[in-house]
Amino acid sequence: MSLVERVQGLMNQAHADLSELVAIPSVADPRQYPPEECLKAANWVVDRFAQVGFTNIGLHETIDGSKAVYGERLTAGPDAPTVLLYAHYDVQPPLDDKAWHTPPFQLTEVNGRWYGRGAADCKGNIVMHLTALRALGDDLAVNLKLIVEGSEEQGTGGLEDFVEKNPELLRADAILVCDTGNAAVGVPAATITLRGMVNVVVTAEALTGELHSGMFGGPAPDGLAALIQVLSTLRDAAGNTTITGLEHDQTWHGAPYPPDQFRSDASLVDGAGLLGDGTVSDMLWARPAITVLGIDCPPVVGSAAAIQPRARARLNLRVPPGTDAVKAQDALIAHLQAAAPWGVRVRVETEAIGQPFEARTGGPAYRALSAAMLEAFGREMTTLGQGGSIPLCNVFAATYPDAEIILMGVEEPLALIHAPNESVDPGEIARLALAEARFLQRYRT
């Protein structure tokens, strides 16, 4: 039986694996879900990878309280290269349950796609690894190490610290960071740049307590209105992110992202325009981008005729390669404080920060992967930027400067990762499992 046939024959098992894993609500935030769910997912990973030959496999505590799964399969001999396989088992919360067309923690097939929280990001990549390894059996030319983390979506740095404290444990010649994806279904890609990120919480405080809007409205400053005015200064009329002291005119020189495809992928409502004065690729992969993730203020239903003394917002700033994330953070904080109107107090607290990343390409691992992708997809692999942030990649690069770091995975625009109705195309799992399997057969340093 050919490798292609073995992968196809394993797709029912892949569906069963993903069904079990998606059913575990492994959100690494104890304020929302019990920590026992993450532990259950971690143990599931331990069990399944033990079944495909990994030894010395178990859970490792990290500084943020999450459990990382580490295992190894060092059977190819000391002269063979070592490949580290990465994924994460924690997921984003489902957000609005009512916005889901299917139960978020029940894998459901609709029009050929498999829906559920984590189906693509990143449990689909765990299943992709398993499918590739099951198809290979003992036909491996490399030594393998595995690291699957449990707090990637929280950005709390547990695995980053673990890598720095255990550099020899995870040392490898090639690192497959499987938490990105293709340009479109069936279009193979390796991600070569990542934007960094800065998360902050900004609070605007104008009064010591609520005041009746009829008795005091007009001269009394409004904390919520002040916050809205501060936030409005972060973009210009064209939608460009305009933070004082931060460049916003960079250009992307790689593969373009066609505007019509982006409109479709992003599901823009009729009449909505694209933001910024650059191309889609410029805006996504080369320039800073600010997003308001949430606002604490009274809901419409139940609100009173009162002036709000304070309000706060959680902001996410994506930082392009070539810009230092610490400098971007400092610029954002200074901008928010300078934009405070009417003498209101503005406080800014940093939640998380991660530097942008740019991979080195052209080495033997990239060449082997490119050939494997061509065989699996029937078309040449392209290279992409990625708007998301994976701070771990910079830690890998600093800790293992000679390793080739390859970002790939089953996620693509239709997957709607981090949003309601996340899904995965099972064909992507099959093709990428085949590509990974071929890579593991053929990679030589």
CB atoms under 10 Å from CB of 45, counted, come to 27
- Average pLDDT on 309-332 reads 96
Lowest mean pLDDT among 156-160, 166-170, 323-327: 156-160
pLDDT tens sequence across 19-36: 999 999 999 999 999 999
CB atoms under 10 Å from CB of 50, counted, come to 13
For residue 152, indicate whether it is catalytic.
yes
The torsion angles phi and psi of 165, rounded to 5 degrees, stand at -85, -15
Which position among 64, 90, 153, 265 bears the catalytic label?
A: 90
The pLDDT score that the predictor gives to residue 390 is 82
Q: What is the band of 439 on the pLDDT scale with cuts at 50, 70, 90?
A: very high
The pLDDT score that the predictor gives to residue 139 is 87
Q: What is the band of 406 on the pLDDT scale with cuts at 50, 70, 90?
A: very high
Q: What is the band of 300 on the pLDDT scale with cuts at 50, 70, 90?
A: very high
The Cα–Cα gap between 78 and 88 comes to 28
For residue 90, indicate whether it is catalytic.
yes
What are the C-alpha distances in Å from 324 to residues 289, 391, 411?
14, 13, 27
The pLDDT score that the predictor gives to residue 266 is 87
The proportion of the chain whose per-residue pLDDT surpasses 90, expressed as a percent, equals 89
What are the C-alpha distances in Å from 25 to residues 33, 94, 287, 296?
7, 9, 34, 25
Q: What is the band of 155 on the pLDDT scale with cuts at 50, 70, 90?
A: confident
The proportion of the chain whose per-residue pLDDT surpasses 70, expressed as a percent, equals 100
- Average pLDDT on 114-135 reads 98
The pLDDT score that the predictor gives to residue 180 is 94
The pTM of this model reads 0.82
Amino acid present at 198: V
Residue with tokens 């444990």: 169
- Asked if residue 125 has pLDDT above 90, the reply is yes
Token pair in block for residue 237: 């009329």
As a whole number, the mean pLDDT across the chain is 95
List Cβ neighbours of 51 (8 Å cut-off, separation of 6 or more). Answer: none
The pLDDT score that the predictor gives to residue 389 is 72
What is the torsion angle, in degrees rounded to the nearest 10, for the CA atoms of residue 91, residue 184, residue 382 and residue 136?
60
- Average pLDDT on 352-366 reads 91
- C-alpha 421: how far from chain center: 16
335 near 233, Cβ under 8 Å? yes
The pLDDT score that the predictor gives to residue 11 is 98
Which position among 17, 149, 152, 265 bears the catalytic label?
A: 152
174 near 404, Cβ under 8 Å? yes
- Average pLDDT on 310-317 reads 97
pLDDT tens sequence across 227-279: 999 999 999 999 999 999 999 999 988 778 899 989 988 889 999 999 999 99
Helical ranges in 217-307 per DSSP H: 223-232, 259-266, 280-281
